[in-house]
Amino acid sequence: MDEGYLDQFVSLFDQYDVLGAFWVNIQLTAYAAVLALVIGTVLAVMRISPVPSLRWAGTTYVTLLRNTPLTIIIVFCVLGLWGQLGITLSSDFQTNFFRLAVLGLAVYHAAFVCEALRSGVNTVPVGQAEAARAIGLGFWPAARLVILPQAFRGAVAPLGNVLIALIKNSTVAAAGSVAETSGLMKTMIEFRPDVILAVFLTFAIGYVIIVVPVGLATTSLSRRLAVAR
Amino acid sequence: MSNLVLFDVPGPRTRRRMVVVNVVAALVVAGIAAWALVLLDRKGQLEPAMWEPFAQPRTWTAYLLPGLLQTLRAAGLAIVGSAVFGLVFGMGRLSGSRVVRWVSGTVVEFFRAVPVLLMMVFFYSGIAQLRVVDPPDVPLLAVVLALTLYNGSVFAELVRSGVHNLPKGQREAALVVGLRPSQSLRLVEVPQALIAMLPAIASQLVVILKDTALGAIITYPELLDAARRFGSGNGNMLQALLIAALVFIVINYALTTLAERLASRVGRLTAGDATAEAPAMAATTTR
């Protein structure tokens, strides 16, 4: 572990764009998070609605997607949707893979977003709804003023966990031929096997730096927003 | 029970309206499914030739079952490894020594924050470099090690949270009858915590089983890899991946159902109202 080792390791950063690879993962996460939040909210509304057929459809989606490995979903998006059905989301080759991976990440995590939102609704005691109705509030006023504000506060912590899982799972986009961190790490290790440990620790600590603040932020947010009961 | 919070018990008029909405919604859902099937049919994906190979025994004996066997082997080894890792580091986080607590805490938080795939890729290349294992065994070892470190860390958090959620009287009583703190932990608290953990463990098994599919990226010949090889050889990749997903769904659904059954039963076996769940990332290092 002399200076030569460090120098060789540092010179790797001139040849490979490590920050650029992390940026790809952050973009994957951001787009997938927005899409998953939209799909997950629709699913959650379906699952808590009083309409049996919608509830059934929402439950089926969550059961199927939650029990399928993410890797299969991503491979399915690329080799199945694009490779076999010829569905393209962009004329550019790389952008197409990127968008297919975002789609795969979003439909998978939407199932977990749905469960997080639902668990938020479950934190609201029935007495709150009964009290709202007793003072004469109808369905919409009771939902808007009494139940949903508490439900969203209760959902912050589980939603934070989904976001953290999504950040880490964005590496699985490598299975869909997206050039991101795990692929770059593999290339760097193959090019310089002698500094393998330093390369791994660099990427690993990069994720610690991204994930830990998100964890701390959502935890403190959920504590600050917690409804005192 | 979320329906009880948001919606009042319906009266006769609402019930009539709900029947209408229910039928319309069912038609919409069925319509979407039918539209997807028509699209697939137009691309020739519903042809019997695309699905017929999965009715032949050879597809299963030569591709899918060996793949499933490898999946289960990796998952089984990873479960045993995670259990050992989780017990050691979970008790380490509860140890009386500040140094042991700090080291265990750092290890657990680190492996919880690093993506499993990064660890797999690292072990795959690293173990191959060391040349101490037969080359064909390298992917299996990489998959098992990566899954062990991540899920073991989750188990460690579960042990800790299970012990924290026990009533304080359990530890006090153990100390009063003359047990040392470490004995109280080992003989009284952790065994009860383990029972409280059972539902959480069962749902973590689903995570382990799903994550073995990451092994396909580092050439481990598990179920996804087998399905991919079969699909590219027969031109029915879509169908092969769907079948592989279905196998995973069936196994995982059984595990999830087991977890729910356990959750409703374990309450009786521990002191107080003990539960265990993994706390949010990095939430506990500050405490």
The ipTM of this complex is: 0.90
Cβ contact B283–A143 (<8 Å): no
Burial class (CB in 10 A: 0-12, 13-18, 19+), B286: exposed
Chain B residue numbers with beta carbons less than 8 Å from the beta carbon of A53 are: 22-23, 25-26, 29
Residue type, B244: A
Class (C level, CATH) for A3-225: mainly alpha
Give the distance from CA B13 to its chain's centroid. Answer: 45
Give pLDDT, residue B283. Answer: 44
CB B200 within 8 A of CB B274: no
Dihedral sign for Cα B213, B219, B223, B226, please: positive
Query: How would residue B3 be classed by pLDDT, with cut points 50, 70 and 90?
Result: low
Give pLDDT, residue A2. Answer: 55
pTM of the model: 0.90
Give residue for tokens 């639902």.
A118
Class (C level, CATH) for B55-269: mainly alpha
Q: Does A174 touch chain B (CB under 8 A)?
A: yes
Give pLDDT, residue B127. Answer: 92
Query: How would residue B1 be classed by pLDDT, with cut points 50, 70 and 90?
Result: very low
Q: Does A218 touch chain B (CB under 8 A)?
A: yes
Give residue for tokens 């299996």.
B140
Give residue for tokens 């699209």.
B39
List pLDDT tens digits, range A89-147: 888 888 999 999 999 999 999 999 999 999 998 888 988 888 988 998 888 888 889 88
Give pLDDT, residue B287. Answer: 30
Give pLDDT, residue B87. Answer: 94
Average pLDDT over residues B218-239: 91
Residues of chain A with pLDDT under 50: 1
Using a pLDDT cut of 90, give the percent of chain B over it.
Answer: 57
* DSSP conformational letter for B152: H
Average pLDDT over residues B253-273: 77
List pLDDT tens digits, range B143-159: 999 999 999 999 999 99
* Distance to chain A for B52, nearest Cα, Å: 17
Q: Would you list the domain boundaries of chain A?
A: 3-225
Cβ contact B121–A182 (<8 Å): yes
Give residue for tokens 């795990």.
A182
As given in the structure block, the two tokens for residue A21 are: 């690879």
Helix (H, G, I), strand (E, B) or coil at A67: coil
Q: How far apart are CA B201 and CA B259, in angstroms?
A: 8
Please name which of B287, B260, B231 lies closest in space to residue B51, comparing C-alpha atoms.
B231
Give pLDDT, residue B285. Answer: 36
Q: How far apart are CA B272 and CA B245, in angstroms?
A: 40
Average pLDDT over residues B254-271: 78
Q: Would you list the domain boundaries of chain B?
A: 2-42, 55-269
Residue type, B112: R
| A191-210 residues touching B, CB cutoff 8 A | 193, 196-197, 200, 203-204, 207-208
Q: How far apart are CA B88 and CA B195, in angstroms?
A: 17
CA angle (B119, A35, A32) in 5-degree steps: 20
Q: Which helix (DSSP H) or strand (DSSP E) does residue B2 occupy?
A: helix B2-6
* DSSP conformational letter for A26: H
Give pLDDT, residue B274. Answer: 62
Query: How would residue B234 be classed by pLDDT, with cut points 50, 70 and 90?
Result: confident
What is the number of CB-based contacts under 8 A between chain A and chain B?
196
